[in-house]
Structures are given as C-alpha cells and as structure tokens.
C-alpha cells in the first residue's frame, strides 16, 4: 500500500507505469490519440512478461498457470484440465512464487542496506524538517519553488514516539501549519 509523499513505498506502481508508458509510446508514435485502444494489449503484454522479482509472469502468479496464447482457433482443441489438477498446479506455483519473492526480497535488501546507515536519534538532538512536497506558510514562499527552501529548522527532539517517529519542539509561529510529530 502506498501513502502520499512516500514515493519509496510506491515503487512497484511507478515501475509498472514506466513500463506501460514505454509500451504505449512505442505503439502510438504515428497516432498518439489511439493509446486507449491499446490498453488491453498493453495489459496482456505486462501480465505475460517474466518478472524478475517473482520469477514468473504476473498471470501465472495470480492464476497458477501460464496465460492462454493468442492463437488461431482450431477444431481439435483438448478439453481443459480438471479443476483438481488446476488447483494442485496453482498450489505448486504459489509455493514457487513465495520462494522467488523471498529470494528477491533478500537480494533487494542486500543492495538497499549498502546505502543505509542506522539512524538513532535521542531526545535533545537537533534535526531539520523536510518541507517538500508540503507547502509551508510558516516559511517564506518564493515564486520559484524549485529554488525554495527544502529544509526548515534545526529543531530539538522532545520525545520519541515509536521506533521512527519523534515529537519536535517547534516555534509557536510554525505550529499552525506544521505538525509537531515527524517520521525519520
């Protein structure tokens, strides 16, 4: 689940949007107004593409089997497998999916932890408050927000409220527009 102003929690949606945008851009070069007609094909393309994080296609992850291929109809088609076979195959695929996701999670964590350092803040430590993407009226606004202030303060920590949230001592003039609880 993603939340506002936390783009790091919405990486999967952003990656999907980038893929779909690339796909649609390739197919709508000559007629850009027809992009909406290509959405079902873009969806099929994405759902049948192998995803490295899960080690299979999204279609197989959801339904437990490979997606039907788009082929010409022939009269000698076989009957679909029984429901019990489909459910057993789905359980097998779900186990594979869990293993692939665990491996991908360990792999991604290893690379993410290389750039991280533990942040242990104590009561009395001074911190800056990031202003963007919030619009603050307690800080002088500029015509060009790109060149505006990104951080506000140095404010002392008054209290730790959980593992990553802190209560700060803000000046009285800023309390009307700034929350005094922050997530670091």
Q: Domain for residue 60, yes or no?
A: yes
Q: Domain for residue 2, yes or no?
A: no
Write a three-state SS string for the chain: CCCCCCHHHHHHHHHHHHHHHHHHHHHCCCCHHHHHHHHHHHHHHHHCCCECCCCECHHHHHHCCCCCCCCCCCCCCCCCCCHHHHHHHHHHHHHHHHHHHHHHHHHHHHHHHHCCCCCCCCCCCEEEEECCCCCCCCCCCCCCHHHCCCEEEEEEEEEECCCCEEEECCCCCCCCCCCCEEEC
The band of 63, judged by pLDDT with boundaries at 50, 70 and 90, is very high
Whether residues 109 and 130 fall in one domain: no
pLDDT at 152: 75
Whether residues 80 and 170 fall in one domain: no
Q: Domain for residue 12, yes or no?
A: yes
Whether residues 33 and 106 fall in one domain: yes
The band of 142, judged by pLDDT with boundaries at 50, 70 and 90, is low
Domain that holds residue 71: 7-114
Tens of pLDDT, residues 143-169: 655 556 677 778 898 888 887 788 888
Query: Given 94, 114, 134, which residue is the final one in a domain?
Result: 114
Whole-model pTM: value is 0.41
Whether residues 109 and 137 fall in one domain: no
What is the total count of domains within the chain? 2
The band of 74, judged by pLDDT with boundaries at 50, 70 and 90, is very low
Query: Given 83, 114, 145, which residue is the final one in a domain?
Result: 114
- Give the whole-number percent of the chain exceeding pLDDT 90: 3
């Amino acid at each position: 689940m993603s939340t506002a102003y936390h783009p790091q929690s919405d990486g999967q949606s952003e990656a999907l949007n980038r893929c779909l945008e690339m796909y649609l851009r390739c197919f709508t070069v000559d007629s850009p107004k027809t992009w909406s007609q290509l959405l079902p094909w873009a969806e099929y393309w994405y759902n049948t593409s192998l995803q490295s994080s899960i080690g299979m296609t999204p279609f197989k992850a959801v339904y437990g089997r490979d997606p039907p291929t788009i082929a010409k109809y022939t009269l000698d088609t076989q009957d679909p497998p029984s429901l019990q076979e489909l459910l057993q195959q789905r359980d097998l695929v779900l186990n594979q999916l869990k293993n692939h996701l665990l491996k991908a999670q360990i792999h991604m964590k290893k690379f993410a932890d290389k750039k991280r350092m533990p942040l242990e803040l104590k009561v009395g430590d001074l911190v800056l408050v990031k202003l963007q993407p919030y619009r603050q009226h307690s800080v002088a606004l500029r015509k060009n927000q790109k060149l505006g202030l990104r951080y506000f303060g140095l404010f002392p920590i008054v209290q730790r409220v959980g593992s990553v949230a802190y209560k700060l001592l803000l000046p009285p003039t800023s309390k009307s527009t700034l929350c005094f609880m922050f997530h670091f």
